[in-house]
Amino acid sequence: MRLHPGIDVVGSGLLGFSISHPEDSHVYLLHDGGQAVLIDSGCGLDQDLILQHIDAADVARTAISGIYLTHAHADHSAGALGLSRELGAQVYASAEVAAIVRSGDEAAAGLEAGRLSGAYPPEVRLLPTPVTEIVDDATCEVGTLTFRAHRTSGHADGHMCFSVRVGIGLAVFTGDLLFSRGRVAVLATPDTDVSALANSIRSIAALEPELLLPGHGCVVMSGAAQHLRPALARLDGQELPPPFMV
């Protein structure tokens, strides 16, 4: 699914466009000039569907050099091992996310609790995956595009958003930090930090993005400020923005 020249959605489950496994987060493909990276990797099941969408985007699988993880939750990270092997791509994440994904820590990835609640089928596994750590403000060139990492904790330990300037403005891949219409996902997990979440949303708003490309749900292709404004208003009133899942 082409969103913009250079940005495709190649994976997305039930909380999105249902073009790959139901448990998948959005998986974005950013490409330019014969170079490409993926943002997030889905849950690791039925990965042929993601590969088919990459092919349909007319991007060579060999062009994909990196898989950048927003955070370690299994719907975003459990597909990294299979895709990195299939594509010959390196996996990149913050130090905290790298520690979870490298060790295959299924509790920290939300998989153990998710299986018990029925949110994940037993086949979803987080297998130990080689990961290269990246820091806040790390950049990577994708053709003529500069892709940048932003530390944005709050939803989960070591969460990162990624930004890239495209024709109509700045696009921010927000993972599970912030969704369309200013929604958030605050979980009852020890690494959820509401004050950090507020600071992270403010830091993303300060980038003045035009596009918001979250890990689930609607994508915002213009006028991101309209979606940020209600979240910021709630935070200014010491309230949490409304939940993504109700």
183 binds Zn ion (CB under 5 A): no
Task: Write out the E strands in the chain.
Answer: 2-4, 7-11, 27-32, 35-39, 64-68, 90-93, 132-133, 139-142, 145-151, 160-166, 169-175, 211-214
The least CB distance from residue 239 to Zn ion, in Å, is 21
Give Cβ neighbours of residue 54 (< 8 Å, ≥ 6 apart).
8, 10, 29, 61, 64
Cα-based angle 128, 130, 135 (whole degrees, multiple of 5): 120
73 binds Zn ion (CB under 5 A): yes
26 binds Zn ion (CB under 5 A): no
The least CB distance from residue 154 to Zn ion, in Å, is 11
The least CB distance from residue 237 to Zn ion, in Å, is 25
216 binds Zn ion (CB under 5 A): no
Of these, 176, 191, 193, 210, which contacts Zn ion (CB under 5 A)?
A: 176
φ and ψ of 10, to 5 deg: -115, -5
Stretch that binds Zn ion, among 8-16, 66-74, 129-137, 206-214 (CB under 5 A): 66-74
193 binds Zn ion (CB under 5 A): no
Please report, as ranges, the residues that interact with Zn ion according to CB under 5 A.
73, 176
